[in-house]
């Protein structure tokens, strides 16, 4: 497995030499300053690569892009998407020309990963990302006031949500909105309550079947180009794996993944295995998912979550939480051996330690939520130890 690290570019508070100190060589990055739908030029891609190469002694390289974003018009299924598909394909061609051939992307409408708490206190003073079901319901039902938002919500959860909204200060409500918006990458637009209502209305009464049809259309447009260029596309699952604010989520379960891979049955159409996103679903069996879809896993985000009965969850230690991380790592190492035995040069599956806790000197630093240095360094070290032990015990290549 290839140890990689997500880096948000020159504005990231985590420096490249710190990433190398953590032990990673692969950089996972994106051109967040380019608006959705515009072409990533070769000049811009090479500019980012030149930054990584400024200190050759670090030995850093860029093979995985996270993300090459999908425009909202494509997710909505608008009729006039031909120029957007053309631009996406040209960005793919330019990335491949620069040696970047592994693309992570998602198909989550409007919002990326969503949490209600960005700094939940941990013993000893660290902090973690957390999703509180009552705060989400309180925002959706009583602040956003989305019609039908209370349908299917258990009475006890609804009552707790109402109490939270009634007792919360305006500052707490503003912090909740900011936390929900924090999953949007880079410098892209954040919404206030009115703006969120407006963008949600643009999706109308979209059903999961509608969104799946739009995903199929996207895949049919871009996977042939991926095959031509030798690019692998790894869909990131929904985070959290549940409908949000009335919007459907269609890559949340094991069977959703099977549907995704069957839409265009190509080795280029694959999965970014995110154990944290999928692990927040009560029915997910991550080791089974890793084994079942091993041949189509192009990238992995390894982290853990601890779930609660009401749908809340907290991001746990990388080797804590509800997911058997040791079994997942064994599945990925076993697949790497199969690829090596086939003679593939790219047999190592790239992975990164996803979301870490804020710990020690990271506290208070302007890092992106979920992406401090020390918490991820700890996670990578733990995962490296698991990998090394499994490789030795099972005679698998690292």
Q: Catalytic positions, please?
A: 236, 274, 301, 354-355, 371
Helix ranges, 28-71 (H): 42-53
> What gap in Å lies between CA 291 and CA 392, rounded to an integer?
20
- Please list, in sequence order, all residues whose beta carbon lies within 8 angstroms of the beta carbon of residue 119, skipping any fewer than 6 positions away: 127, 128, 358
Tokens of 304: 């853990």
Helix ranges, the chain (H): 16-22, 42-53, 72-76, 82-97, 133-138, 155-167, 170-181, 193-201, 208-229, 254-263, 275-279, 286-292, 325-341, 373-394
Judging by DSSP bridges, how do beta strands 350-353 and 232-235 pair with one another? unpaired
Q: Among candidates 80, 123, 381, which has minimal Cα distance to 217?
A: 80
Tokens of 291: 């084994």
Placement of tokens 């029915």 in the chain: 283
Query: How far out from the chain centre does Cα 183 lie?
Result: 9
Task: Check if the beta carbon of residue 276 is closer than 8 Å to that of residue 304.
Answer: yes
Q: How many CB atoms lie within 10 A of CB 206?
A: 18
Q: How many CB atoms lie within 10 A of CB 69?
A: 22
Q: Among candidates 267, 234, 390, 386, which has minimal Cα distance to 317?
A: 386
**Residues paired with 127 in a beta bridge:** 121, 358
Three-state DSSP class for 67? coil
Placement of tokens 């991820």 in the chain: 376
> DSSP labels for 258-290?
HHHHHHS--TTEEEEEEHHHHHTSTT--HHHHH
């Amino acid at each position: 497995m290839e140890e990689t690290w997500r880096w948000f570019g020159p504005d990231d508070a985590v420096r490249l030499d710190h990433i190398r100190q953590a032990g990673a060589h692969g950089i996972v990055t994106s051109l967040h300053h380019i608006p959705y739908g515009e072409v990533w030029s070769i000049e811009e891609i090479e500019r980012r690569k030149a930054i990584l190469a400024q200190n050759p002694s670090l030995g850093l390289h860029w093979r995985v892009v996270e993300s090459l974003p999908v425009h909202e018009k494509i997710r909505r299924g608008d009729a006039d998407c031909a120029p957007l598909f053309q631009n996406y394909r040209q960005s793919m061609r330019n990335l491949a020309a620069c040696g970047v051939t592994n693309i992570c992307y998602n198909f989550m409408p409007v919002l990326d990963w969503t949490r209600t708490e960005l700094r939940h206190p941990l013993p000893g003073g660290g902090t973690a990302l957390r999703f509180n079901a009552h705060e989400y319901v309180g925002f959706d039902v009583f602040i956003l006031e989305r019609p039908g938002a209370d349908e299917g919500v258990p009475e006890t959860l609804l009552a707790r949500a109402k109490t939270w909204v009634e007792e919360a200060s305006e500052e707490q409500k503003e912090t909740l909105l900011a936390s929900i918006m924090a999953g949007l990458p880079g410098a892209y637009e954040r919404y206030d309550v009115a703006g969120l209502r407006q963008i949600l209305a643009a999706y109308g009464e979209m059903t999961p079947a509608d969104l799946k049809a739009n995903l199929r259309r996207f895949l049919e447009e871009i996977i042939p180009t991926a095959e031509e260029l030798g690019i692998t596309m790894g869909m990131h699952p929904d985070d959290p794996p549940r409908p949000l604010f009335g919007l459907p989520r269609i890559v949340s379960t094991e069977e959703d993944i099977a549907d995704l891979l069957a839409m265009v049955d190509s080795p280029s159409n694959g999965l970014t295995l995110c154990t944290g996103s999928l692990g927040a679903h009560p029915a997910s069996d991550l080791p089974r998912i890793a084994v079942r879809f091993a041949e189509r896993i192009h990238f992995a985000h390894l982290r853990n979550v601890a779930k609660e009965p009401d749908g809340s969850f907290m991001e746990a230690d990388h080797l804590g939480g509800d997911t058997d991380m040791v079994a997942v790592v064994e599945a990925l190492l076993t697949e790497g051996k199969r690829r090596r035995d086939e003679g593939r040069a790219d047999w190592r599956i790239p992975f990164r330690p996803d979301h870490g806790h804020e710990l020690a000197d990271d506290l208070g630093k302007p890092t992106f939520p979920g992406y401090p240095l020390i918490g991820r360094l700890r996670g990578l070290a733990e995962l490296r130890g698991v990998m090394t032990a499994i490789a030795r015990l099972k005679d698998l290549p690292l």
